[in-house]
Amino acid sequence: MQQTETAQGYVKNIWDTVKTTLVGMKITWRYMLQKPITVQYPDERMPIPDRYRGIHYLEQEKCINCLACARACPIDCIEMEAVRHGKELEWISFTLDYQKCMFCELCVYPCPKDCIHMGTEYAFVTFDRSEFKHDLLSFKGMAREARIRMKEAEAKKAAKDAAKAAGGGKSAEKGGEG
Amino acid sequence: MDFRGIYDRLVAIHAPGLVKADEPRKADPKDKKDKGRAGDPFVLVEAQELARFLESCRDDDRLHFEQLIDLTATDPAKDAPDFWIGVQLLSLKFRHRLAVKALLPKSAPSLPSTVPVYRASQWHERECAEMFGITFVGHPDPRHVLLPDDWIGYPMRKDYEFPKEYHGISCE
Amino acid sequence: MANETRESAQGSSRIQATGPGEVTVDIRTPDLEINFGPQHPATHGVMRILMRADGELVTGAQPHLGYLHRCAEKIGENVEWLQYLPYTDRYDYLASMNNNLGYSLAVEALLGIEIPRRATLIRIICAELNRIGSHLVAFGTYGLDIGAFTPFLYTFREREWMMALFEKICGARLTYSYIRIGGVFNDAPPGWFEEVARFCDVFDEKWKEYCDLLLVNQIYVKRTANVGVISRDMALDFGLTGPMVRGSGIDWDLRRDMPYMCYGEIWRDGAFKIPVARGEMGALGDCWDRSWVRVMEMVESTKIVRWCLDHMVDGPVIGEIPKTLKVPAGEAYVGIENPRGELGHYVVSDGGKVSIRTRVRGPSFCNLAVLEDVLPGSLVGDAIAIIGSTDIVVGETDR
Amino acid sequence: MSGTSAFLEGLKAGLGEFVPMWALWLGSALISVAIALGLISLIAMFSVWLERKVAGHIQCRYGPMYVGWHGWLQSIADGVKLLLKEDLIPRDADRVLFMLAPALVLAAIVGAMAAYPLAPGILFADIDLGLFFIIAMSSMTTIGVVMAGWASNSKWTIYGSMREAAQVVAYEIPLGVSLLVPVMVAGTLNLREASAAQADFFGMGWFMFKNPFMLPAFLLFLVAALAETKRAPFDLPEAESELVAGFMTEYSGIRWSFFFMEEYAAMFLMSAIGAVFFLGGFESPLTHLAGQLFGRDLVVVGAGPEFAFTAINWGALVYQLVAGGTLLVKSFLGIFLMMWLRWTLPRIRIDQVMTMGYKYLTPLALVCVLGAALWEAGWQALVRS
């Protein structure tokens, strides 16, 4: 449509324009009659693959509070706190700041117990910024099993000590203490 | 041409400012302190001669470095005396690369601009200037490129102190 | 050069006295200064171009960057080698896989380690798929800049599939962090390779459609041919790379000319070609040539993917990498062929856990510099076409 | 005599001396304006919905789906939203012109609507210069657009309005000239009469088939109409990727929606003109059939001076509805064609728009007129001999 020198070019210009327009219209017409490929989002959702990197979830029973994930995190958004009672842990917090988190999955790989995972939940919406600091713990304090195990371990230890005291007969006071 | 060939050619044409070649080497088993050097070989040149060196690299018909791919600076450590100026040259004709490195004293960070040789270095030099505080003498457009015009300090230096606030916006 | 153009553009409106009794009249009107961006539909992000215009004629342009500057290089000096990986996703966010690859290759060059072959092949598949995705965006949004809305959504339809493929293999849709130092994060899930093959088959049909709908459309041709011509010398002088340099008729592709990974092997097998513009619709190096190169590169990428699928081997996907990585002292520069050009990573290590310099040579940054020279003398509508044809990702120009 | 004045005469006769004639005129004028405005709103709403659906399906997506069946109430929801939005006027804008511009645009298109025949017997105004009137009124909108661009005091808007002015001036010529071809065949500028002239061949005697130069003239008209209504590929005044939103960059809320209504109403009018002058207007086999079955005239004008109309032929109402519906369907087909083109083609550059207008469309349209005139003359000679 510009700088046409020859009559031939003039006609060719018109011809090309009409032809390519019709070709394009044919393509769009074909698609208009097809079923759309989109889904109506909140009602239907696309399937989420297994490896999806969404909001984390923690297998708290397995976690040993080793801080490997927190160290691996490039932006230090994982913070955890737990009190150790012998072998058992009393959980206080395990927070992930989703304002910072960039879902890189680097925290998942170094875990020795394979207990932190990326979940499939992705829509994490809130009106308050502080809620983005998400606590991954499913319970605070100690698990019932852990408590039982601790009790058992203590009892065992006490029994052992008692046995030792009885066997050795050295210190009756110590046995009494346990 | 491989690196040796390029270096020999540079020596043969008396490229201005050429100091030496630095090639990766294995750690010396006898010397405990020597860790060796990994990575790519490069040639070391004098910073003040850098532009002329690049010109001879570009114009030599055996080297034929048509393109300057990258020009950057490095601040190796807080207490290091020098900046490193690193240049990557590329020859499309002979399919070879050359890494050029120049040491620029931190006390006088100024060197002639390479823009007359390669226009590609125009923005790279602007970036270096604002990030490291290196003056490229003769640069046609020495404004900031990435940082705001009123930015204080040279962020890519190792001794850079992060600002507490910027125009009232807290950076904490 | 901008000044010269401005002078010549305005020279015509100056009525010069030619003899005695005449006076010189200056009927120049002041140029309009337009702030093109940072919030503008055609800047592909937040970039600002200060344009001077004489009516519809652009007489000067000055790109202003930095609106998306996120200190990627400084961060590189403060986090560990492995931890920097997610940040590489974020400069060229349309081709994250390629960024991961470039960084990983640079660190591996320092480490001097061997990558398992399966990992290499998966890397190439991912990088090429991502090249397709990136060019789809480039082509689609270019159509959008020109004013065609529909091809944009068609290209995004295919890109959506590509992203779904990546979602299956690594769990993310845009910032993959999948290719890591030493290999790739995890092996492909079952059935993934078959789906990739299916994607390639479908794509072979679809790209012809884009050509019919947009690339050869007469309006598109007229809008892009002879517009924004970048000559050979200019392309070399400005250090342009990738489709920009191939669009100027220079036969150069790092995958063939400086092969990394096993691209050399694929090239020797004759699996792919390098599309180089021939100036079919107008002057060599115009916008049409660049968009043509991009479309053709997508086709070649599917061939590379097919080759890798055919030659896939079993085995591990990641080499032996210690948990806290210490990289031997030294420096390395590795440039790879990103969808936008040569993405260079210049890494310097002093033998520690943290690099002392991570330099990113973003192709968009270098390709953008040419605008200052190309824009003056074009129309405002052309300016958009030219900016679009450089296919910049602002995340990469600003890093 | 036009329908309205016949009706008014009848009313006057009926109401006798109670109401003065000027009040009747004024009342009917106000009612007409209200109907025209309502019609424009309805057309705009339906067109917006249609546009979104067409665009959606062309692009493999659904378009609006939630408000009503397939989102058919979406436009109403949007309209309510636009009404409730904050009315923004930029600080440095020329307030008077800024507020006047959308009103002027809307007023011009409402005025143009007056010549649109709802049905052969139901008209706002049966203007003998109907076609001329519509084109003149719809190019009035350009003044509003230029005004908007200037008053906004923004560089993007001034670009938009500059382009609009240049473009409309360039395309008025081929538009008018290409319409000369059917006008020549019809021998009238009146829309109703032009439509009636195509009633032969069982309602298929469309001008399109009556002259070999009609098809190229129609294509030229189509292109010129696209440019005239600022539709893609000629949407340079808006050019959302270049000029943000062109002349309406600074507008929001209800003022912005006026521009939108104008755009769709102008599209509708252009399509209607095309339908009337090329594609048979009211006429189709169905209309023909309805006319045969129920009679055509709505008002059977009596003979006596006391009673201007003696009876209303209610059966003819069916015919009127069918005829009006036919035109409406044809107009919307035209709108659909415009949408289809919009979602297929890229945008032309401004100098190419000018080149196309002056170097391609105008000469070609002139050739068409010449050819059609020669053909008509030859045909007439043939018939006579």
Residue C33 lies in a domain: no
Mean pLDDT across C327-334: 85
Residue C341 lies in a domain: yes
Contacts of C252 in chain B (CB under 8 A): 92
Beta bridge partners of C318: C183
**D219 to chain A: closest CA residue:** A18
DSSP C318: B
Token readout for C241 is: 């790379």
Token readout for C357 is: 């310099």
CB contact under 8 A, C328 and B145: no
Query: Parallel, antiparallel, or unpaired for β C14-15 and B67-74?
Result: unpaired
Question: Residue C193: which of C339, C313, C98 has the closest Cα?
Answer: C313
Which amino acid, one-letter code, is at C208? K
Q: Are C367 and C340 in contact (CB under 8 A)?
A: yes
Q: For the domain that residue C157 is a member of, what is the CATH number?
A: 1.10.645.10
Task: Give CA–CA dist D41/D57, Å, rounded.
Answer: 24
Average pLDDT of the residues of chain A: 80
The predicted pLDDT at position C280 comes to: 81
Query: Parallel, antiparallel, or unpaired for β B135-137 and B110-112?
Result: parallel
**C31 to chain D: closest CA residue:** D155
Task: Give CA–CA dist D346/D342, Å, rounded.
Answer: 8
Domain that holds residue C234: 72-398
Residue B132 lies in a domain: yes
**Residue holding tokens 């845009």?**
C174
Mean pLDDT across C245-256: 88
**B155 to chain C: closest CA residue:** C74
The predicted pLDDT at position C22 comes to: 72
- Burial label for C117, CB within 10 Å (0-12, 13-18, 19+), is middle
Q: Are D270 and D228 in contact (CB under 8 A)?
A: yes
Q: Which residues of D touch C (CB under 8 A)?
A: 55, 58-61, 155-156, 159, 162, 232-233, 235-236, 239-244, 343-352
Q: CA quadruple C166, C169, C175, C179: dihedral positive or negative? A: negative
Residue B32 lies in a domain: no
Q: Tell me how far apart the terminal alpha carbons of chain A are, to the nearest angstrom.
A: 100
Question: Residue D345: which of A12, C216, C225, C279 has the closest Cα?
Answer: C216
Query: Parallel, antiparallel, or unpaired for β C330-338 and B38-39?
Result: parallel
This prediction's pTM: 0.85
| Residue A129: φ, ψ to 5° | -60, -35
Of residues A151 and D4, the one with the higher pLDDT is: A151
How far is the CA of A157 from the CAs of A83, A178, D385, in angstroms?
A: 20, 8, 128
**C246 to chain B: closest CA residue:** B92
Residue C63 lies in a domain: no
pLDDT tens digits for C29-82? 778 888 887 888 777 778 888 888 887 888 888 888 888 888 888 888 888 888
Contacts of A20 in chain C (CB under 8 A): 212, 216-219
Highest mean pLDDT among A139-148, C173-182, D123-132: C173-182
The predicted pLDDT at position A170 comes to: 52
| Residue A45: φ, ψ to 5° | -130, 150
The predicted pLDDT at position D300 comes to: 59
Residue C10 lies in a domain: no
Mean pLDDT across D8-13: 63
**Minimal Cβ distance to C379: which of D60, D240, D351:** D351
Q: Please name the chains neighbouring B, where neighbouring means 3+ C-beta pairs under 8 angstroms.
A: C
How many domains is chain C partitioned into structurally? 1
Task: Give CA–CA dist C327/D283, Å, rounded.
Answer: 84
The predicted pLDDT at position D9 comes to: 64
**C140 to chain D: closest CA residue:** D346
The predicted pLDDT at position B6 comes to: 85
CB contact under 8 A, A21 and C217: yes
| B66/C contact by beta carbon, under 8 A | yes
The residues, any chain, with a CB within 8 Å of residue C382's CB and separated by 6 or more, are C58, C223, C227, C228, D349
The residues, any chain, with a CB within 8 Å of residue C12's CB and separated by 6 or more, are none
Mean pLDDT across A91-108: 84
Q: For the domain that residue B84 is a member of, what is the CATH number?
A: 3.30.460.80
Q: B45: part of which helix (H) or strand (E)?
A: strand B42-46
Which amino acid, one-letter code, is at A20? T
The predicted pLDDT at position C272 comes to: 86
Q: Which residues of C touch D (CB under 8 A)?
A: 32, 34, 40-42, 55-56, 143-150, 153-154, 157, 213-214, 217, 219-220, 222-223, 379-382, 384
CB contact under 8 A, C154 and D232: no
Residue B57 lies in a domain: yes
Task: Give CA–CA dist A32/A30, Å, rounded.
Answer: 5
CB contact under 8 A, D60 and C382: no
**Residue holding tokens 């081929």?**
D174
Query: Parallel, antiparallel, or unpaired for β B42-46 and B96-105?
Result: parallel
The residues, any chain, with a CB within 8 Å of residue D157's CB and separated by 6 or more, are D148, D149, D150, D243, D246, D247, D248, D249, D250
- Burial label for D374, CB within 10 Å (0-12, 13-18, 19+), is exposed
How wide is the angle at C-alpha C232 spanned by C-alphas C230 and C237, nearest 5°? 90
Spell out the alpha helix ranges (H) of A34-171: 68-72, 144-168
Q: Are C133 and C162 in contact (CB under 8 A)?
A: yes
Please determine, for the modelled complex, whether the ipTM score is greater than 0.85.
no
Q: In what order do the strands lie in the sheet with B42-46?
A: B18-22, B42-46, B96-105, B82-91, B67-74
CB contact under 8 A, D349 and C214: no
Q: Are B158 and B77 in contact (CB under 8 A)?
A: yes
Task: Give CA–CA dist C384/C44, Å, rounded.
Answer: 11
pLDDT tens digits for D54-65? 888 888 888 888
Residue C108 lies in a domain: yes
For residue D301, pLDDT over 60 is answered with no
For residue D124, pLDDT over 80 is answered with no
How wide is the angle at C-alpha C196 spanned by C-alphas C190 and C202, nearest 5°? 140
Residues recorded for chain B: 172
Q: What's C124-173 look like in SS3? A: HHHHHHHHHHHHHHHHHHHHHHHCCCHHHHHHHHHHHHHHHHHHHHHCCC
Q: What's B125-142 look like in SS3? A: HHHHHHHHCCEEECCCCC
Substitution target in B66, B70, B171 with the highest count of C β-carbons within 10 Å is B70
Residue C105 lies in a domain: yes
Domain that holds residue B55: 3-27+37-170
Residue B137 lies in a domain: yes
For residue D291, pLDDT over 80 is answered with no
Helix, strand, or coil here: A173?
helix
For residue C303, pLDDT over 50 is answered with yes
Residue B116 lies in a domain: yes
What b-and-e string marks burial along B28-59, b requiring 16 or more CB atoms within 10 Å of the CB? eeeeeeeeebbbbbbbebbbbbbbbbbbbbbe
Q: B86: part of which helix (H) or strand (E)?
A: strand B82-91
The predicted pLDDT at position D304 comes to: 47
Helix, strand, or coil here: C117?
helix
CB contact under 8 A, A21 and D343: no
Token readout for D343 is: 């979602």
For residue C11, pLDDT over 60 is answered with no
**D160 to chain C: closest CA residue:** C56
The predicted pLDDT at position B108 comes to: 84
Do B and C touch, counting CB pairs below 8 Å (3 needed)?
yes
How wide is the angle at C-alpha C258 spanned by C-alphas C254 and C262, nearest 5°? 95
The predicted pLDDT at position C172 comes to: 86
How many domains is chain B partitioned into structurally? 1
pLDDT band at D377 (very low <50, low <70, confident <90, very high): confident
Q: Are C397 and C343 in contact (CB under 8 A)?
A: no
